[in-house]
Chain A
Amino acid sequence: MRNNEVKIGIGDMKVLRQEGTLITYALGSCIGITLYDPIIKLGGLLHIMLPQAGAQAAATPFKFADSGIREMIRKMAAYGGIKSRYVCKIAGGAQMFQMTGPIGNIGERNIASVRETLAQEKIRIQGEDVGKNYARTMLIDVSTGVVKIRTMGRNEVIL
């Protein structure tokens, strides 16, 4: 366990600069999105739960893919982050239970909304581990920008 490890809950986002690790546990159908500005070593990790915010964007922006990504970009800009330099990686959007209907495809809808919002913001996804049927823990080391994914019964992978 690192000394400076910052946990991100569901529907939340945090930013660190220079050193430390941002971590979010057990992404199921949720998606973790990291943005990293390598020039100033600024990293952010967002954990979204649902695809579109609709009227709830102002109250809980980080719960949703569209409002969450936009608010994250805005917050990181306040720390000096430059959008064109961001390295973006995403993980999650799994289907936890094999079911049809809205419960079955929430992960898929989350992935689609994350991709769409990032494309609108002109941010390219440089690494991803999405879909399938297992939960993932995602972490980013802010001193290096390395993003790792932990899953049950598999080795840790670097995105």
Chain B
Amino acid sequence: MKINRYDEMGERELDILREIASMGTGYAATSLASMIGTKVRMTIPEISILGYTETIEKVGDPEEAIAAVLTCMSGQIQGIMLFLLRLDFINEVLKKMLNQTVENYSDMTDMEMSVLSEVGNIIISSYANAISSLSGITIKLSVPSTSINMLGGILTVPMAEFGYVTDKLLMMDGSLVVDDRKLDSTILMMPDIDSLNVLMTELGKVYEK
């Protein structure tokens, strides 16, 4: 079945997406664990297909400050991967890696920003690798870019990117649990609609075997 709109997906398609998201988040958790030397688990990923305003509401308050690492996917899959981190998660990572913490997003130094960017990069790459190794699909990732900004503004980036083809966004999200504390971070994978069909075909083959 060819998907033309995100909300056309049935249970089979959503199951495949859930599987992708748990694989991706799982790999990301493993990489983070080896980077910071602590046990990292993940929550069960959720798939949501929502309008613009609802998408923002689902993630948080539009005006709240948040850190984000963004990369673009190209190759057989096109779209955006976004890793959102809130202060508790940032501090956990900074404590483990630099032995320091920050009070506010605005207090972050260049060194600390660069750590965030690197952590984001590793997490996003592991996620993409998980999908590639399962399906054989090639995913190229752009150099990551980091931003500290209002959540609403950050989320308009994927919205504008897909704005000409869809009024809804597909979010595959997963959170990481560090040392048994659920820390605030979200990995969002947002493929465009054509890529969704590629994923379904390639991963469909894997599951039908």
Chain A partners chain B = yes
Residues of A within 8 A of B (CB): 9-11, 25-30, 49-50, 54, 56, 60, 63, 94, 96-99, 101-103, 106, 133-137, 150-153
Q: Which residue from A11, A96, A134 sits with its C-beta under 8 Å from B157?
A: A96
Q: Is the CB of A97 within 8 A of B150?
A: no
A135 touches B160 (CB 8 A): no
The reply to whether B62 and A26 form a contact with Cβ atoms under 8 Å apart is: yes
Please judge, given known A-B contacts A99-B145, A137-B63, whether A153 and B106 are in contact too, CB under 8 Å.
yes
For A103, list chain B residues within 8 Å (CB): 72, 80, 157, 160-161
Quick check: is B156 within 8 A (CB to CB) of the other chain?
yes
Residues of B within 8 A of A (CB): 52-53, 56, 62-63, 65, 68, 70, 72, 80, 106, 142, 145-147, 149-157, 159-161, 163-164, 167
Kindly count the residue-residue contacts between A and B in the assembled complex, taking CB atoms under 8 Å apart: 102
Residue of A nearest to B158 (CB): A103
Interface residue from A56, A97, A151, A153 paired with B164 (Cβ < 8 Å): A56
> What 17 additional pairs, Cβ within 8 angstroms, besides A29-B160, A56-B164?
A11-B167, A27-B153, A28-B150, A28-B160, A49-B156, A49-B160, A54-B164, A96-B153, A103-B161, A106-B160, A133-B147, A135-B149, A135-B150, A135-B153, A136-B153, A137-B63, A151-B150
Q: Is the CB of B147 within 8 A of A26?
A: no
Chain A residues contacting B62 (CB-CB under 8 Å) are 25-26, 137
**Hey, which chain B residues are within 8 Å of A97, CB to CB?**
68, 70, 145-147, 157
- CA distance in complex: A106, B142 (Å): 17
Cα A101 to Cα B157 in complex, Å, equals 13
A-B contact list, 16 entries, CB within 8 Å: A10-B53, A10-B156, A26-B56, A26-B152, A27-B156, A28-B150, A28-B153, A49-B163, A50-B164, A56-B164, A96-B153, A98-B147, A134-B149, A135-B152, A137-B63, A150-B63
